[in-house]
Amino acid sequence: MRVLVITGAGVSAESGISTFRGKDGYWRNLDPTKLATPKAFARNPDLVWDWYRERRQRIRKAQPNPAHQAIANLALQADEFLLVTQNVDDLHLRAGLAAEKMVQIHGDIFMTRCSRCDFRRSEHEHEDGDLPKCPQCSALMRPGVVWFGEQLDAVKIGIVENFMRGGDSDLVIVAGTSALFGYIIDWALRARGQAGQLIEVNPEETWLSQFAAKSFREPAGVALPRLVNELLSNVNRRAPTY
Ligand code: APR
């Protein structure tokens, strides 16, 4: 079985990490979609860093939930597997998913990188509140995530495209994302090809819902473990159809 899974913030919601566009996403009354921008960082880097440090701290304390575990389990059993996650947290990894089976297409919140040169470092420990400066060139350091309006990493796009070239997926699962970005929709539909099944897991309808063979309108932590169990118990008999 060849499987592509695409996840978004909804998959980490049950671990206590707020989504971007939900009402809980607001921080100090500010809209996250307006904080995660190069413009916001240029205007007020202290404010943007405060937000990221708080998110980092919340993620450090959070635990993977049954949705992350179900995806890691599916990855172990599928013949070919790739996870494309828009999440910058490390909960898929901490649930046991092998790093080579996933692409964090919007970056890694624990990476701090220079806004000018190529210096980067990983920061998994608690940090102080100073504005970080690059030890190589003294420029301001920034979180290693992709902000609105920025390009995706070409190497990461290459990994996804390479998986696509390997053939159509039997199953494409899209979970916990508002699926607002064209490349997410494009990858989901192209990976499914002519014969694959697209399954959506999201309590709300999205633009992708119209293309899904089945949409589970449930939290990911409820629907994914059940779905993966069903798939894995059927895999040696015949592929289930939804
Ligand atoms: N289980 C599954 N889905 C859920 C759950 C849950 N428990 N809770 C919320 N959702 C769904 C919401 O219905 C919504 O469709 O998760 C989705 C979260 O949407 P967004 O907040 O827009 O997050 P995401 O789709 O990951 O955003 C994409 O946009 O802000 C940028 O770079 C950021 O990676 C992010 C990207």
Distance (Å, rounded) from C-alpha 112 to C-alpha 86? 18
To the query of whether residue 68 is one of the catalytic residues in this protein, the response is no
Q: For residue 130, how many C-alpha atoms fall within 13 Å in the half-sphere facing its CB?
A: 3
Q: Are 11 and 220 in contact (CB under 8 A)?
A: yes
Structure token digits, residue 90: 């490390």
One domain for residues 137 and 235: no
Pair type for strands 107-114 and 120-122: antiparallel
Q: Specify whether 70 is located in the same domain as 158.
A: yes
The pLDDT value given to residue 130: 86
Predicted model pTM:
0.95
pLDDT tens for residues 162-187? 999 999 999 999 999 999 999 999 99
If asked whether residues 121 and 193 sit together in one domain, one would say: no
Domain boundary among 91, 124, 145: 145
Quote the ligand 1 centre to 8 CA distance (angstroms): 5
User: The CATH number of the domain where 164 resides is what?
Assistant: 3.40.50.1220
Measured from the Cα of 67, ligand 1's closest atom is 1
Site to substitute for ligand 1 among 178, 183, 227, most atoms within 8 A of C-beta: 178
The number of domains in the chain is 2
Verify that 181 and 220 share a domain, yes or no: yes
Q: Do residue 123 and residue 211 come from a single domain?
A: no
Residues 215 and 127 in one domain: no
Most informative mutation of 185, 202, 222 for ligand 1 (most atoms within 8 A of CB) = 202
User: Residue 96 sits in which domain range?
Assistant: 1-17+64-106+151-242
C-alpha–C-alpha distance, residues 124 and 199, integer Å? 34
Q: What is the CATH number of the domain that holds 52?
A: 3.30.1600.10
pLDDT, tens digit, 9 for 90 and up, residues 110-161: 999 999 999 999 987 777 788 999 999 999 999 999 999 999 999 999 999 9
Q: What is the mean pLDDT of residues 67-75?
A: 98
186 plus 218 within the same structural domain: yes
Nearest Cα residue to 201 out of 31, 60, 55, 66: 66
Q: Are residues 5 and 119 in the same domain?
A: no
Ligand 1, residue 145: give the atom nearest the CA. Answer: 32
- Residue list, ligand 1 pocket, CB within 6 Å: 8-10, 13-14, 19-22, 33, 36, 86, 106, 175-178, 201-204, 206, 219-220
Kindly give the distance from the C-alpha atom of residue 87 to the centroid of ligand 1, in angstroms, as a whole number: 9
Reduced to 3 states, what is the DSSP secondary structure of residue 129? Answer: coil
State the average pLDDT for the chain.
93
- For the CA of 147, the closest atom of ligand 1 is 32
Best residue among 146, 177, 200, 206 to mutate for probing ligand 1's pocket (most ligand atoms within 8 Å of CB) is 177
